[in-house]
Amino acid sequence: MTTEMQSHFDVLLAEDRRYRPRPEFTSEANVSDPTIYEKAAADPEAFWAEQARELEWFTPWETVLEWDRPWAKWFRGGRMNASYNCLDRHLGTRGAKRAIVWEGEFGEERTLTYRELHCEVCRFANVLKHLGLRVGDRVAIYMGMVPELPIAMLACARIGCPHSVVFGGFSPESLSDRINDAEARVLITQDGGFRRGSVVPLKQNADAALERSASIEHVVVLRRAGDRAPVKMCEGRDRWWHELIEGVEDECDAEPLDSEHMLYILYTSGTTGKPKGIVHTTAGYLLGTALTTKWVFDLKEDDVYWCTADIGWVTGHSYIVYGPLANGATCVMYEGAPDYPDKDRFWDLVARHQVTVLYTAPTSIRMFMKWGAEYPQRHDLSSLRLLGSVGEPINPEAWVWYNQHIGGGRCPIVDTWWQTETGMILITPLPGLTETVPGSATVPFPGISASIVDENGEEIEPGTAAGYLCINHPWPAMFRTIFRDPDRFVENYWARFPGRYFTGDGAKQLENGYFAIIGRVDDVLNVAGHRIGTWEVESALIDSGDVAEAAVVGMQHEIKGQGIAAFVTLKGDIEGTDSEQEKLRRHVAEKIGPIARPDQIIFAADLPKTRSAKIMRRLLRDIADGRVLGDTTTLADPAVVEQLKSQYEAQGKTE
């Protein structure tokens, strides 16, 4: 941590930077009794059990928690179904209520009531059964933001087939890696998706992926782009969605699944190796996401809720699909880009659909800030009553701008900290109770215990130093393992600080106990709220064939929070030209996906290494951020770093 950062934290708690909940908000809030924290802390299992009774169970559980560290079983003996809880349960009271209000990039609209959504999910679940899928078989889903994506997920959940959703921006190779690891039998995709007016050729990418993925027996293709994305259908393997559902029964019993039945796998970047398959199970996950949705977003019956994430990431899984639908909420879903056709698209959507709760990422907020307040000012945003932030630390300037220009100064902001692994929000304000402070996610959710520890695992006193953020006790939506790699699960998360879950984040507790998250302390970057392993980008660079050695580090980026800087040593006589830079950038984008495209590529004759030949990333980070260089005494060859620095200054170019 830099001294600059230290002073940044000291001012966070200044009196003029505190936002108290307005009494009008508190009096109507879902949670307004502050003793909830003590009650939950006194007996977390009783707390979770009480909340779990709000869900619909086919068979009640026998034990709330079995904790054979780090292996957790929540609600053992219980049977339920996530799709049933998101749909069937609402039919009596909310059948005609809007579940999904979808808008395509070109402005077309589609509304699905709970009854209609139930019907579509049942039909598609029957289709999946007819394709021969049985409980436990995995299904890969590679789609854009269309209603059929949540329909496909809920259909899988209904028949007990874990889904593995792969973000539509990922490359064919990323897709096939994920299919192969999960050994998926069916792939659901679409002809093409729309983004900023152009077509993303999803089916074509899927075809390329399937050249290396033998486990897939059937491909279901949704028609979305039509003539704009011509596809080749592979005889005996590929079928159109609309043909398959024709005449299929619209009733399909929800499978009564064990509480610990695998609901889904979602791949996320780690420190080394390929992305890891994060495994979430049924009952605990649904409880965690449903309860946090209700309490953190203060969700009421007539709210119109919009989470702007893509369902390809965990935020979309937990807070577009499972959490909101379990609450019977009306959810807005938008297919396209925020600047299409113009930079006011989000605000146009908010005003037209009368959105009341908006959940988005700091990267987007910083982008809106840069575009200027004139865009939100074009629209009436007075329907909004609560704002959320997720994915990265939100800088106080962006927080204050969000509050003023989007929230009109009247909406509480919930800065929610959580991870793919945690499944549910863990550190967050409760909007009717918690005094907020721009730049801090505030306090653990009721029933959650978090600490900051030092190198030796000793707890650090609030208001003193920064350290490692850990969660001290199991929570219901926690991931249960890494798919087919239990050793890595233990090693990565539970071994470093015995007795605690290590998040991989650095953080500090302010004097009042509030948590301020600094960012990842491992070799994982957070680019625009998306996790990318430095190792993945390095492998992609090496794979180009031109690179002898590569070291990738994060660099400060005005909008994305973190950008990607790659220090590269080229092979033999390959020259470090502009076109070589462009070639490498393009190669990484093709290999992983456009989100991994490096912002800077710095060619270097040598990389700074210790005498034991470890690349000193700390120094590279200092160079990339233009800081005074840290300690260089352990370098094998101190001249390398000076040379690098001057090379960087001469050729480093940000896109």
Give contact residues for ligand 7RM (rule: CB under 6 A).
Answer: 268, 313-315, 390-393, 415-420, 441, 503-505, 517, 519-520, 526, 529, 531
Which pair of structure tokens corresponds to residue 23?
């009494």
Q: Count the Cβ atoms, other than its own, within 10 Å of residue 239.
A: 16
CA atoms within 13 A on the CB side of 156: 29
Yes or no: say if 567 and 585 are a contact pair by the CB < 8 Å rule: no
The SS3 assignment for 482 reads strand
In Å, what is the CA distance from 17 to each residue of 400, 406, 410, 431?
9, 18, 15, 16
Nearer to ligand 7RM, 83 or 420 (CB): 420
Nearer to ligand 7RM, 333 or 516 (CB): 516
Q: Count the Cβ atoms, other than its own, within 10 Å of residue 108.
A: 9
Nearer to ligand 7RM, 185 or 530 (CB): 530
Sign (positive/negative) of CA torsion 474, 292, 87, 168? negative
Residues 6+ positions from 47 with CB-CB distance below 8 Å: 39, 40, 446, 447
Q: Residue written as tokens 């890595």?
A: 488
* Least Cβ distance, residue 436 to ligand 7RM (angstroms): 12
* Least Cβ distance, residue 526 to ligand 7RM (angstroms): 5
Ramachandran angles phi, psi of 162, nearest 5°:
-60, 135
Nearer to ligand 7RM, 297 or 313 (CB): 313
Separation between Cα atoms, residue 584 and residue 270, nearest integer Å: 22
Nearer to ligand 7RM, 241 or 493 (CB): 493
* Least Cβ distance, residue 171 to ligand 7RM (angstroms): 18
Nearer to ligand 7RM, 113 or 268 (CB): 268
* Least Cβ distance, residue 512 to ligand 7RM (angstroms): 18
* Least Cβ distance, residue 425 to ligand 7RM (angstroms): 8
Nearest in space to 311 (alpha carbons), one of 512, 154, 534, 519: 154
Yes or no: say if 388 and 296 are a contact pair by the CB < 8 Å rule: yes
Nearer to ligand 7RM, 204 or 416 (CB): 416
Separation between Cα atoms, residue 264 and residue 139, nearest integer Å: 9
* Least Cβ distance, residue 54 to ligand 7RM (angstroms): 24
Separation between Cα atoms, residue 536 and residue 580, nearest integer Å: 20
* Least Cβ distance, residue 416 to ligand 7RM (angstroms): 5
Query: Which amino acid is located at 364 in the chain?
Result: S
* Least Cβ distance, residue 168 to ligand 7RM (angstroms): 16
Yes or no: say if 400 and 373 are a contact pair by the CB < 8 Å rule: no
* Least Cβ distance, residue 562 to ligand 7RM (angstroms): 10
Which pair of structure tokens corresponds to residue 183?
């050994």
* Least Cβ distance, residue 549 to ligand 7RM (angstroms): 28
* Least Cβ distance, residue 597 to ligand 7RM (angstroms): 18
* Least Cβ distance, residue 530 to ligand 7RM (angstroms): 7
Yes or no: say if 338 and 329 are a contact pair by the CB < 8 Å rule: no
* Least Cβ distance, residue 524 to ligand 7RM (angstroms): 8
Nearer to ligand 7RM, 469 or 552 (CB): 469
Nearer to ligand 7RM, 224 or 366 (CB): 366
Query: Exposed, middle or buried by CB within 10 Å (0-12, 13-18, 19+), for 612?
Result: exposed
Nearer to ligand 7RM, 64 or 441 (CB): 441
Yes or no: say if 575 and 568 are a contact pair by the CB < 8 Å rule: no
* Least Cβ distance, residue 502 to ligand 7RM (angstroms): 11
Query: Exposed, middle or buried by CB within 10 Å (0-12, 13-18, 19+), for 613?
Result: exposed
Sign (positive/negative) of CA torsion 389, 392, 398, 400? positive
Yes or no: say if 356 and 305 are a contact pair by the CB < 8 Å rule: yes
Nearer to ligand 7RM, 229 or 411 (CB): 411
Yes or no: say if 619 and 634 are a contact pair by the CB < 8 Å rule: no
Nearer to ligand 7RM, 452 or 644 (CB): 452
Task: Report the run of H or E that residue 589 belongs to, with start and end.
Answer: helix 578-591
In Å, what is the CA distance from 382 to each residue of 100, 332, 355?
22, 17, 9
Helices (H) and strands (E) in the chain, counts: 23, 30
Residues 6+ positions from 5 with CB-CB distance below 8 Å: 466, 518
What secondary structure letter does DSSP report for 54?
T
Separation between Cα atoms, residue 551 and residue 564, nearest integer Å: 11
* Least Cβ distance, residue 160 to ligand 7RM (angstroms): 25
* Least Cβ distance, residue 414 to ligand 7RM (angstroms): 9
Task: Report the run of H or E that residue 304 belongs to, with start and end.
Answer: strand 304-307
CA atoms within 13 A on the CB side of 61: 23
Nearer to ligand 7RM, 527 or 644 (CB): 527
Separation between Cα atoms, residue 146 and residue 206, nearest integer Å: 17
Nearer to ligand 7RM, 485 or 522 (CB): 522
Q: Residue written as tokens 């920064």?
A: 466
Distance of CA 455 to the CA centre of its chain: 28
Nearer to ligand 7RM, 162 or 504 (CB): 504
Nearer to ligand 7RM, 102 or 501 (CB): 501
